[in-house]
Chain A
Amino acid sequence: MKCKTCGRPAAIEIRRHHAVFCKEHFFEHISRQVERTIHDFAMLEPADRLLLGVSGGKDSLALWDILTDLGYQVDGVYIELGIGGEAGYSSESLKLAEQFAKNRDLNLRIVDLADEYGYTIPEAAAETRRVACSVCGLSKRYVLNRVAHDGGYDVLVMGHNLDDEAATLMGNTLNWNIEYIGRQHPVLPATKEGLVRKVKPLLRIAERETAAYCVLKSIDYEVDECPMVGGNTGIRIKEWLNILESQRPGVKQQFLFGFLDRVSDQFATAQQEQVVLQECSNCGQPTTAGECAFCRLQIRMADRG
């Protein structure tokens, strides 16, 4: 197979685009897609201070590389979740994130959940008897926004890719979870004091492409799966979508972008009517009532025997 741009031997095939690229033109393709996404959704302003949520995985490291190459100055933040003990998943992921930042002279902030908030994800999952990903997602969303806000950043940049967003939409659609569907957008504006705008520039990039990007750029990322992922339904939905995609290349992108282009507005209105945000009585962050879910979790963890 030959690169569709230059005719040299191909490095990767992207079936949904009916395209094959050499290394160089693959990088160019990815970078253009990201640029276009940023532009089409008006994600970033020239003077914005950017903070990227970095997990040490393929998506966040690829995105950091792409944005830096495009000339953006982006700081990273890594949240130490305390998963897998010493030399386990979390410390391994941190090492990879640190190595990446060091090699490129980028600024990585590190927030240790245990030091700052008094618990690790395994502890919180055990105490609440909830699926780890649920307490983990809640903690990450809160802490990332908090760090961005307190650090004076204008935008929190996230590494969610096409597969992530299509799977989230599919999950919420299967349940007709209208409130969540209404909130799903690649740009979440800072609608309240205390919230930082959140953007997802990898929206058009499939996860196979961010992984390939890392391999082809020799970016070391965390390949191993988180040991606490069990019980998460998102992965199963991704597998279903991959079966559909293998029979009809492009269906994931069609599903997600059809929603964003033609449907999402209607759900967004429905959602705005429902939700009135107030300040959390404990931390001041926006919440629907009383103490926010994060503070309730943190207080529960502090009170445990």
Chain B
Amino acid sequence: MKVILRNPRRELDIEGDATVRDVLRRLDIIPDTVLVIREGELLLKTDQLTDADTIELRPVISGGAR
């Protein structure tokens, strides 16, 4: 599956089927620090992904003085 990361924008390929939780674990990402988005919809940790999927891992942290 194709995984799009942001800040900076880059792409990864992950082989095989996996749950969202597996993908995040493999990339060493704390689940609550990103939204996982597929075709404009949010995914849950338990959702199953296949090789054909494209997902975006969108960080939710914003920085700076507010």
Contacts and interface: CB of A to CB of B under 8 A. Distances in A.
Given A11-B42, A13-B45, A158-B66, A211 B60 contact: yes
Interface string A208-236: 10011001101000011110110010110
Contacts of A234: 63-65
Given A216-B42, A235-B61, 4 more contacts: A164-B66, A206-B32, A208-B60, A223-B6
A201 to B, nearest CB: 14
B63 A12 contact: no
Name, among B6, B31, B46, B65, the residue most crowded by chain A CB atoms within 10 Å (CB to CB).
B65
Interface in A1-46: 1, 10-13, 15, 20
Interface of B: 6-7, 30-33, 35, 37, 40-42, 44-46, 58, 60-66
A215 B61 contact: no
Nearest to B47: A1
Interface of A: 1, 10-13, 15, 20, 57-59, 133-134, 136-138, 140, 158-160, 163-164, 206-208, 211-212, 215-216, 218, 223-226, 228-229, 232, 234-235, 238-239, 242-243, 245-246
B65 A136 contact: yes
B42 A12 contact: yes
B40 to A, nearest CB: 7
Contacts of A246: 30-32
Nearest to A158: B66
Contact of A136 (B30, B40, B46, B64): B64
Name, among A158, A160, A238, the residue most crowded by chain B CB atoms within 10 Å (CB to CB).
A238
22 contacts: A1-B46, A11-B42, A13-B45, A57-B62, A140-B66, A159-B66, A207-B60, A207-B61, A208-B32, A211-B58, A211-B60, A212-B42, A216-B42, A225-B63, A228-B64, A229-B63, A232-B64, A235-B64, A238-B63, A239-B33, A242-B61, A245-B32
A220 B6 CA distance: 15
B47 to A, nearest CB: 9
A108 B1 CA distance: 41
Contacts of A10: 44
A218 B40 contact: yes
A187 to B, nearest CB: 16
A160 B66 contact: yes
B42 A239 contact: no
Contacts of B46: 1
B35 A208 contact: yes
A58 B45 CA distance: 22
B61 A163 contact: yes
Name, among B31, B45, B61, the residue most crowded by chain A CB atoms within 10 Å (CB to CB).
B61
A232 B40 contact: no
B9 to A, nearest CB: 8
A134 B30 contact: no
Nearest first, the 3 A-B pairs at minimum CB distance are A137-B65, A235-B63, A211-B60
Contacts of B41: 11
B63 A232 contact: yes
Nearest to B6: A223
A162 to B, nearest CB: 12
Contact of B58 (A20, A140, A218, A223): A223
B44 A12 contact: yes
B62 A58 contact: yes
